[in-house]
Structure formats: structure tokens, C-alpha cells
Amino acid sequence: MSEIAAQPVTAEHDASIVGIPVVPLRDLVPWAVLVGSVLLALLYLVGLDEGATSVVPGRYVHELLHDGRHLLAFPCH
């Protein structure tokens, strides 16, 4: 029989094993709020700016976003 025995691989013996970093929830909350705010603003700009509730007066922004809705296949009619 061979003298070589199977050894269990541990993190101390193999430098190629990388652990998953643990990020506390407290550090993720500000990023989640920022990303959520940006996504809601984009949703408003692309999908909800119908003129009646528009922040920007006039029809130019509405028509530009209306064409963008068609380009993105966003339902608008």
C-alpha cells in the first residue's frame, strides 16, 4: 500500500481557499437606500412622468421620455 494518505484540506494549508467576507447589515442599509432611491427616480422618469404629475413643466421632457418608453418596451399606452 502507498504511504501517502489523503489529508483534509483546511484554510491554513491551502492559500487558494478564500472565505466569503461577512458584511454587517448596518453597513448595507445606506447603500440599499441610495440604490432604491435611484431606481425609484428612474422608474418615475421612464414610466410615470405622464404630464399631469410632471416635475418639469412643458411637453418636451414628456415626449422625450415617451419615446424612451417605446425604446425600452415599457408599457405606456
pLDDT band at 2 (very low <50, low <70, confident <90, very high): low
Q: How many domains does the chain have?
A: 1
Evaluate whether residue 7 is within a structural domain. no
Task: Write the pLDDT tens digit of every residue in 12-21.
Answer: 556 677 788 8
Task: Write the pLDDT tens digit of every residue in 56-71.
Answer: 666 777 777 777 778 8
Provide the grid cell at 49.
412622468
Let me know: does 62 contact 54? Beta carbons within 8 Å: yes
Look up the pTM and report it: 0.48
Evaluate whether residue 36 is within a structural domain. yes
**AA identity, residue 69:** R
Evaluate whether residue 10 is within a structural domain. no
- Output b/e per residue, 57-76; b: 16+ Cβ within 10 A: eeeeebeebbeeeeeeeeee
Let me know: does 59 contact 50? Beta carbons within 8 Å: no
* 52: containing domain: 25-71
Contacts of 75 (CB under 8 A, 6+ apart): 69
Of 35 and 7, the structure prediction assigns the larger pLDDT to 35
